[in-house]
Amino acid sequence: MPMQEEYPGSILNWIAGQPLDVAFILIVLPIMLLAMTGTLLVRGVFGLLIAPGSSVGQAKAGAAAEVYAVVLGFIIVIGFSDFQDAKRDVLQEATALNRLAAQAKVLDVVTASKVTEAVGVYATAVVDHEWPAMKFGRASSEANEKIVALNDLVMTSAGQDNALLQIRLSFLLDEVIKLRVSRLSASPDPLVAGLIFQVLVLGAALALITGWFVRGPSALVHILLSAVLSGSVVTVMILSAQLLFPFTGVVSISAEPFMELAKLSKG
């Protein structure tokens, strides 16, 4: 029985794994309360220095709009696009594996059975070992071993008597390996995740502080505006974290295509 692999996560990874309602209670709501408290303090200390119609207030409002637009653009253009690409790679990899097992059936019965079994074993390793590892931007050594074993088997399956079939099977296996690499690179590694987290924290701080200086004639409107501004930006940032980790949390890609292939394994 293989040793259980451990994969240290990051704060961003933890955020990505939280359901949206839990993230709202643990992250968004405290930020909104902090924004409201800060607004009251800023109005009390600097209220006489910033008039409702001053250029400073307008500049801060413009900065808040720019921060929100940049974060929202990051979500829609990059996060969603990368998520869809990762989902496509998963489906294409499973399809290539399925075609590999199907075309191996033209080999002799014993060899065809071995290739089909190896495909199922690899798919099982992906589901049981690699899917949990990908939540933290890692590969699985267990899946690595199984894809190497599948490669060794395919490279000697057809022999010299059927070179065209050998080339075809090798081509399909190359597609599987290429798509696996693309799938594994879908989630950022811990170092990159840490850098992204720092950028998101800076954006959240800007959204929080900006709301304090977007002053209107009504204290209630000012407080509510500050809370909504900071809360909406942080919510969008949480959504971006969930899209950055396509194999983590509620918004994640299912391993179902590989579960079907795992049935080819006799174990």
Q: Is 167 exposed, middle or buried (0-12, 13-18, 19+ CB in 10 A)?
A: exposed
pLDDT profile of the chain (267 residues), mean per 10: 49 77 86 88 69 52 60 67 88 93 86 90 94 85 93 79 80 93 82 73 76 70 83 80 81 90 79
The per-residue pLDDT for 3 is 42
Residue 131 CB contacts under 8 Å (≥ 6 apart), including other chains: 247, 255, 258
- Separation of alpha carbons 190 and 263, rounded Å: 33
- Separation of alpha carbons 44 and 47, rounded Å: 6
The per-residue pLDDT for 1 is 38
The per-residue pLDDT for 202 is 77
How many helices, marked H, and strands, marked E, lie in the chain? 12, 0
* pTM, to two decimals: 0.74
- Separation of alpha carbons 214 and 50, rounded Å: 9
